[in-house]
A and B are shown apart, each in its own frame.
Chain A
Amino acid sequence: MKNAFLRYIILRVLQCLMVIFVGITVTFMIPRFTPVDPVEQAITRMTMFQQSTHPEALEEMRASLATLYGLEGSVFEQYLGFWGRLFRGDLGPSLSSFPRPVMTLIRTSLPWTAGLLLTSTIIAWSLGNIIGAFAGYFHHKKWSQVLGVMALVVWPIPYYIFAFLLLVLLAYVIPIFPLSGAFAIGSSPGLNWNFISSVLRHGFLPALSIVAIGFGGQFLGMRSLVSNVISEDYILYAEIAGVPNHRILKNYVIRNALLPQITGLALQLGMIFNGAMITEFVFSYPGIGYLAYTAIFSGDFGLIMGIAIFSIVAVALAVLIIDLLYPVFDPRVKLR
């Protein structure tokens, strides 16, 4: 039994490492096969508003930029150099914010994305699943049906429209929330009430938009799962045996229906490192999503890879953790 468990863990860890290796390799290759050339992008940026550049000067500029950006040599040589740096925790310089290290840019944006998405994802997941479970179990009740209709109305609304409506309503028509940004001008970042309250106020609308839409999906999913579970024989048996409703719901219904939702949550948490591009755009909120967008359009290989690596590792680790913890949630899963 002990050997089987050990083998299970080793296999899963190897699988995870393989996923990370392949993912990072693909991430390294893809930008190099796109028509975006960071050197040409840089030249275009540098000469956009200048007078003519002499042909000789232009050729020299190209050569010196390729050297600076580490884009000399074959793709394979660049690939080996990339892994060498990666093992030292160095993701190299950003090409669009050269010579700023990619790690520094990610470090600035990640806390905002993580703070916003972690909170709103967990709130949406918890509310959606708890209320969805009740609504599924008490599906004949009026309130359950009303909630179902509300979720059905909100959930299909395209996210950007819903977010924009919130913005117009609560930042323009009734201007109680700010239109953009992460905190007020003049509040110094740190553990002080001014800053914290400002962050809460600025983050409220983006979080509300994610929670509202996320809640709808979780609610509908859980309600549907619960509807299936309550038709199982063991539930019928428990009811006939006179087990109180709240115990049936808690111990038999939710526990069984929650399993696929837990996997979903783990993946969602892993995806946090991708950022929330639309949220960040609509609310002008600083984060990884906007950073990734600008990196793609400016051909910033280093930054694209840095963000993708974080995301790949996070998703792979989330899946690994769920794989390892699954037997705890579901005793029916036996190790073979």
Chain B
Amino acid sequence: MKSKYFVIAVGLVLALLLGSFAATAQDFAEIAPGVARHETLILENPEGRIADPDRFNRWAPGGGASTGLQQLALDALWFVDPNAGIDGEPWNNALAAEGPIYNEDFTQMTVNLREGIFWSDGVPFTAADVVFTVETLRANPGMSYHNQLALLVDEVYATDDYTVVFDLTRSNSRFHAMFTVRWAAMFIMPKHIWEVVDDPLAFDFNPPVSLGPYVLKDFDPTGHWFLWERREDWERTSLGMQYGMPAPKYALYTAPGPADQRVMAQANQNLDVIHDLSPEGVQAVISRNPTSRGWFEGFPWAHPDPTLPAVIINHEVEPLGDNEVRWALQLAIDIAGVSMASYSGAATVSALHAPPTGMYKEWYFDPMEDWLLNYTIELAGEQYQPYNPDATLAIANMVRPSLGDQVPTDEAEIKKALGYGWWNYDTDMAEKILLDKGFTRNRQGNWLLPDGTPWTIDILCMGASNPTMTRVATMIAEQWTRFGVPSEAVVSDQLWNRMNYGDFETAIAWSIETWGGHHDFFFFLESWHSDFWRTSGELASGTNRMRWQHPELDRIIDEIRGIDFDDPRGFELGMDFLKLAVEETPLIPLMSYNVFAVTDWYFWEGFPTSDNPYANPVANWSNTRFMFPMLRPTGRQ
């Protein structure tokens, strides 16, 4: 009798399990009831699981940004694509009908808005929304941009339904940057929703009323996925109006888990856009899935973001305040070794203090190549030419035995993929510099400071949260130790805070981020002006974590501040900055921040690539929206 009950119980459990597994069959046809897989673009949200997924208030802390919210539902006045942009125009007037209009002394900015745009609930978008957004953020501490708006905006008002005027408290030729998306920017709120909200900081904005071409269809209350559906009136949005209907009917932003799961998900055609992987991960997914590809079709695969990982040097720590000492450390780095250790050779290296990405090769790197070839600096009393134009050819030769045909052979192609040259690996000259400065070696061959104390260097790095940069730190520590400066890669979860407060000697991180699709360097340079300079122990107010000061730098920044954003003089001033930075080595530039975004061309084609660089494919960037109208279904189901 007992055994009979046992058999029945086992039978029930099995039936339950089989019943639940039967759902497997629908997986590839539909991702959810009524949501066809072939009509859906599935993208990775690199933020992972969102703890408070029902929060869509992008103007205050909390919630997720890369859940599709800032890509598909929010909109801003302007966008700058870090690549070439659609039709070769990286600047995009989104909600604005044209670029910002300043008065002569840059104390007033006027914005003319695009007409015919509607919120997803049918209410027209007008100047009142822009004014309301600025006033709400300015009035509420804790909200994004609150303090900057309070400091910079005297008054904001609409002169008609489609014109907004900002009266500024001081001259500011780059005020519009706050409203211009690089990765994100100040998105515009729907006044008719927010004006009845008591506490804008606490308001969740759920469901979000959309200004973009998609609306939220569903989301996971545990924060793993967000499903968006194309608006029926998509043509009444800035994207639809300019570029036509976004092809995917649905977009699913999902947190697929660690790298191995991302590879498996794409190999099973369940993830169309992987945000980032290691170079080894890219090789793994490409070898398993013939329809996967990176930004470059072969090696080095990655999309170079307009960010410049570098050796950030604290100038207030002796002897690092001495420019020739920084030069010695730069010459003691073998960039080929760093590239191989970090990106398995797939780095895009840069000798200049600008990321070698997007339009920058054409705007800065090409024009400056001759200058670099002829560049001579006096080091240790000698005239010395430090530039090695063939550095990346050597890297290509190093990876060719393992990757064969995938590595380009044409010199121009190599330089396009791996960057131009870098600085000589010349420990003899580095030694001469140090000897000239009064340094000596001890019996073990390690360097002693001029006062006789041993010289060691700590290199802060991010550890497991950024393995690639950690490998950079480890390799440089090894190279400097070999040169005689015992160095250690020190993992710190507080790397950014420590750099912000000057609590470091050197670090592998970045202080230079550019628009990529615009030549203006003011985006990061503003805070390098001596007006912004703060000593170690005080919070750096921008990206000058090196604590570098130079009168010529102030001159360049002041002059950029005084000219228009699009003034061609900006190119010359940009080059002035790059030349000064080469001379003074405020930090040691290494490479662009290469993101190994991998797209699957099984269900969709037309993703941006190095051959067709119309947008950034890296899924957490707001301007990946430009991908959506350019995609085409392959017809596979």
Contact = CB atoms under 8 A, between A and B. Distances in A.
A281 B150 contact: no
Interface string B460-482: 00000100000000000000000
Interface stretch (A52-60, A227-235, A267-275): A52-60
B534 interface: yes
Nearest to A286: B222
A184 B224 CA distance: 11
B264 interface: yes
Interface string A85-123: 000000000101111100011001100100000000000
A53 B147 contact: yes
A294 interface: yes
B224 A182 contact: yes
Interface string A168-209: 100110011111111011100100010011101100100000
A290 interface: yes
Interface in B414-449: none
A182 B17 CA distance: 16
Given A68-B142, A97-B52, A180 B224 contact: yes
Contacts of B255: 180, 284
Contacts of A43: 539
A185 B527 contact: no
Interface stretch (A9-17, A32-40, A134-142, A321-329): A32-40
A185 B37 CA distance: 12
Most chain A CB inside 10 Å of its own CB: which residue of B55, B62, B465: B62
A83 interface: no
A35 B497 contact: yes
Contact of B225 (A44, A60, A185): A185
Contacts of A112: 222
Nearest to A294: B51
B191 interface: no
B177 A185 contact: no
Contacts of A61: 146-147
B553 interface: no
Given A36-B494, A176-B24, A198-B20, A65 B543 contact: no
A262 B54 CA distance: 41
Interface string A39-76: 01111111001111111111011101101100000000
Nearest to B515: A51
A103 to B, nearest CB: 12
B16 A186 contact: no
A98 B62 contact: yes
Contact of B526 (A44, A52, A68, A197): A52
Interface residues of B, number: 80
Contacts of B60: 98
B151 interface: yes
Contacts of A46: 61, 144
Given A57-B150, A180-B224, A281-B257, A197 B542 contact: no
Interface residues of A, number: 71
B523 interface: yes
A164 interface: yes
B454 interface: no
Interface string B133-148: 0000000011011111
Contacts of B52: 94, 97, 100, 104-105
A167 B268 CA distance: 14
A49 B183 contact: yes
B147 A179 contact: no
B613 interface: no
A164 B51 CA distance: 24
A308 to B, nearest CB: 16
A283 interface: yes
Contacts of B182: 49
B202 interface: yes
Contacts of A62: 539
B407 interface: no
Contacts of B223: 286
Contacts of B524: 51-52
Given A49-B182, A182-B224, A55 B532 contact: yes
Nearest to A105: B51
A72 to B, nearest CB: 13
A185 B218 contact: yes
A57 B143 CA distance: 13
Contacts of A179: 256-257, 261, 264-265, 268, 270
B329 interface: no
Interface string B144-172: 11111011100000000000000000000
A275 B283 CA distance: 34
A94 B51 contact: yes
Interface string A75-86: 000000000000
B630 interface: no
B49 A204 contact: no
Contact of B218 (A54, A171, A186): A186
A180 B257 contact: yes
A291 interface: yes
Contacts of B146: 61, 64
A62 B201 CA distance: 16
B261 A167 contact: yes
B593 to A, nearest CB: 13
A100 B257 contact: no
A171 B223 CA distance: 21
Interface in B186-223: 201-202, 218, 220-223
B556 to A, nearest CB: 15
Contacts of A37: 497
Interface in B17-41: 17, 19-21, 23-24, 27, 31-35
B74 to A, nearest CB: 14
B64 to A, nearest CB: 10
Contact of A57 (B151, B252, B260): B151
A8 interface: no
A284 B261 contact: yes
A297 interface: yes
B623 to A, nearest CB: 12
B227 interface: yes
B24 A284 contact: no
B256 A180 contact: yes
B180 to A, nearest CB: 9
A21 B51 CA distance: 28
A102 to B, nearest CB: 10
A35 B494 contact: yes
Given A97-B55, A99-B62, A286 B224 contact: yes
B227 A185 contact: yes
B15 to A, nearest CB: 11
23 contacts: A35-B498, A40-B539, A49-B184, A51-B523, A52-B526, A55-B534, A58-B147, A62-B539, A96-B62, A97-B51, A98-B60, A100-B52, A105-B52, A109-B51, A109-B222, A168-B260, A172-B267, A181-B225, A186-B32, A201-B24, A284-B224, A291-B51, A297-B465
Given A49-B182, A55-B531, A60-B151, 7 more contacts: A40-B497, A46-B144, A64-B146, A67-B141, A98-B142, A185-B227, A281-B257
Interface of B: 16-17, 19-21, 23-24, 27, 31-35, 48-49, 51-52, 55, 60-63, 141-142, 144-148, 150-152, 174, 177-178, 182-184, 201-202, 218, 220-225, 227, 252, 254-258, 260-261, 264-265, 267-268, 270, 465, 493-494, 496-498, 500, 522-524, 526-527, 531-532, 534, 539, 541-543
Nearest first, the 3 closest Cβ-Cβ pairs linking A and B are: A186-B32, A286-B222, A197-B20
